[in-house]
Amino acid sequence: MNPIFQRLMNNATRLTRVGDLQAATAAIQAALRGGVPAAAASTDRRDVIDVEAREVPDFARAFDDVAPAAPAGNVYDSGRFIAGSHGDATGHRDFKLYIPPGAGERPLPLVVMLHGCTQNPDDFAAGTAMNDAALAQGFFVLYPAQSQQMNPQRCWNWFKHNHQVRGRGEPALLAGMTREVMARHAIDPNRVYVAGLSAGGAMAAILGDAYPDLYAAVGVHSGLAAGSATDLPSALGAMKGGGTNTRDAASGVATIVFHGDADTTVHPSNGEQVIAASVGTATSVEVERLKGAGGRSTTRRVHRASDGAVVAEHWLVHGAPHAWSGGRAKGSYTDTHGPDASAEMVRFFLAHPRRQAH
């Protein structure tokens, strides 16, 4: 990690502990500007929360078809990966959409994937290999792209109070994008899911909480619970040691969590809080110890409702850092040694269609 960044963030932590939140916020902002004083920074830049990461190229903004990684064959055998954009009263964002072979023949599931800070859709697709899973099992994958104008590090603004509720900010924009894609393609409305990494995981938790009528289940990888922070100081505190759940009741949305217990960016206790915010504590829990083929062992906790139905899974990956478990090295923030988070999330999602109203 950049030593200037680390020094400024340590200073911010110290200031937060002594109660000087204004100075702590200024230190965080300076760290995330690379140590540039506020007077020298652009006045258009928004607050950001992130860690150091390598840069990846911006994806093409044209509406061109691009072949994803797939077995030998023509582009139509492996599906299509297209670029598009969505805009409404709440804002505008670009996206990439994976369309599987045979799309249109029958309604298929949709998985919305929210990248982490400094990432973009192409990078996230490459690292998670979710398009390959979609090719094998037949579902759409939507990758919204955070605007660098709205956040210089391309973080989803999960820690701002105006981006945490239904009908406002980025949750409303992402829900609108999801509905637009559903309207344009043959997608099963009862099998729409959302997952994300880090800041994207935190935003996925918010979407599940705010739009349970749209998203049937949620996947949170190395993220935080909805409502765990409302500004920069509380976000820093939540990332370092776990946030405070401000929700009155559990959302009830089926949720699968992956988190490494060696994550020094987002404390592993946040995974437990995501589960609690989703299903509460009135569940029976089965604990399994798993040994992954890639080398990392895992403790999986399966939460069941009173009728025996699985409502949540918590995968704690031992020795894993702040990275997508089982991901591919060609994407950023991936851990090739862990269990395959993409495969397990898809399995969990497809077992949890949206409940029908009686």
Q: What is the Cα–Cα distance from 179 to 195, expressed in whole angstroms? A: 16
CB 314 within 8 A of CB 271: yes
Each residue's pLDDT expressed in tens, for the chain with a length of 358 residues: 444 445 555 555 555 554 555 555 555 655 554 444 443 333 333 344 444 333 333 333 333 343 344 333 334 468 999 999 999 988 999 999 999 999 999 999 999 999 999 999 999 999 999 999 999 999 999 999 999 999 999 999 999 999 999 999 999 999 999 999 999 999 999 999 999 999 999 999 999 999 999 999 999 999 999 999 988 899 999 999 866 666 667 778 999 999 999 999 999 999 999 999 998 876 799 999 998 766 899 999 999 998 999 999 999 999 999 999 999 999 999 999 989 999 999 999 999 998 765 4
Place of tokens 């139905």: 309
Identity of residue 218? V
Contact in structure between 126 and 327 (CB atoms under 8 Å) = no
Distances in Å between the Cα of 162 and the Cα atoms of 6, 67, 191, 231 are 28, 37, 28, 10
Q: Residue 218's beta-bridge partner residues?
A: 194, 255
Structure tokens at 4: 């200037």
Contact 161, 56 (CB under 8 A): no
Q: Output the six-digit token pair for 205.
A: 């938790």
Which amino acid does the sequence have at 195? A
Locate the domains of the chain by residue range. Answer: 1-45, 65-350
Distance CA 160, CA 47 (A): 9
Q: Are 218 and 204 in contact (CB under 8 A)?
A: yes
**CA distance linking residue 106 with residue 138, whole number of Å:** 10
* Superfamily of domain 65-350 in the CATH hierarchy: Alpha/Beta hydrolase fold, catalytic domain (3.40.50.1820)
Planar angle of CA 267, 272, 274, nearest 5 degrees: 95
What's this model's pTM, rounded to 2 decimal places?
A: 0.80
Question: Radius of gyration over alpha carbons of the chain, in Å?
Answer: 19
DSSP bridge pairs for 99: 80
Residue 201 phi, psi dihedral angles, 5° rounding: -65, -40
As given in the structure block, the two tokens for residue 165 are 């509720």
